[in-house]
Amino acid sequence: MNTLQKYCVVLAALAAFFFSRDAAAFIIPETLKLDLTWTGIKAGEAVMEVKDNGETVQFVSKANSAKWVSKFYLVEDVVTSTLTKAAPKDSGLNFLGVPSHYRIKVIEGKNRKDREIIFDQKGKKATYINHLEKEKLDFPLSNITFDALASFYYVRTLPLEVGKTIFVEVFDNKKLYSIEVQVLKKETIETDLGKFKTILIKPVMKSEGIFYRKGDILIWLTDDEKRLPVLVKTKVLIGSVKATLTGGKY
């Protein structure tokens, strides 16, 4: 995998997988627009949305490579997470709902993915389907479990205390992981949108997930009730990749 390919895989990841207080941390509908840059050069865009569909809530993340990148390595990724609003009474979950369906459709150069997960939270089971390889498998779950995208929004609703660590159960790539999210420090940063008081967090990934990355992922969330991801950084084999919030509806 060359450097440009590795960049583009991370590009998709930054759109699809962020980790981030009570469910009022984001307003529905919410739209976040981000620029994706590699070593300071814009190479793509991402949009993350929250939609209220009545009985369900849907998180949708899209990532697309810039025209100059697409000539060499086209990226068109769509990740969708659907939550059922009514959580099991014994779950103790104070959130919008529980994940019921996850779908990831990826075009990254010659690489293609079309996978979905159907969550049976009451029955404590996850059904994994790989549409391209005609594979369908069932896996047991122990507790309320999130997919990779929903976990970001869930962590945004939790109290984030510097020096503390949060763990989230995530089913990804046919495996169940307890993802660790470290709350590192508070910091004031500046982007094109202005200055922000932020909380810096670092998810410690154990899963393969949907992306390749060389180093740690660092995420700056606004230190307010919205917990907006204003900046994300990660290193790749050569240089670094950055996702910066540029606008939206929030």
pLDDT tens per residue across span 46-85: 999 999 999 999 999 999 999 999 999 899 999 999 999 9
Among candidate residues 210, 215, 244, the one with its CA nearest the CA of residue 228: 244
If DSSP codes are grouped into helix, strand and coil, which group holds residue 150?
helix
pLDDT at 17: 41
Q: Is the pLDDT of residue 23 over 50?
A: no
pLDDT digits (tens, 9 = 90+) for 142-158: 889 999 999 999 999 99
Domains parsed from the chain with CATH numbers: 3-249 (2.40.360)
Among candidate residues 79, 70, 114, 113, the one with its CA nearest the CA of residue 99: 79
Report how far apart, in Å, the C-alpha atoms of 44 and of each of 19, 106, 212, 228 are.
Answer: 20, 15, 17, 20
Q: How many of the other CB atoms lie within 10 Å of CB of 84?
A: 17
pLDDT at 10: 47
Q: Is the pLDDT of residue 192 over 50?
A: yes
Q: Is the pLDDT of residue 11 over 50?
A: no
* DSSP per-residue codes, 38-80: ETTEEEEEEEEEEEE-SSEEEEEEEEEE-HHHHTTS-EEEEEE
Tell me the backbone φ, ψ of residue 152, rounded to 5 degrees.
-60, -50
Tell me the whole-structure pTM to 2 decimals: 0.85
Q: Residue 240: pLDDT band by 50, 70, 90 thresholds?
A: confident
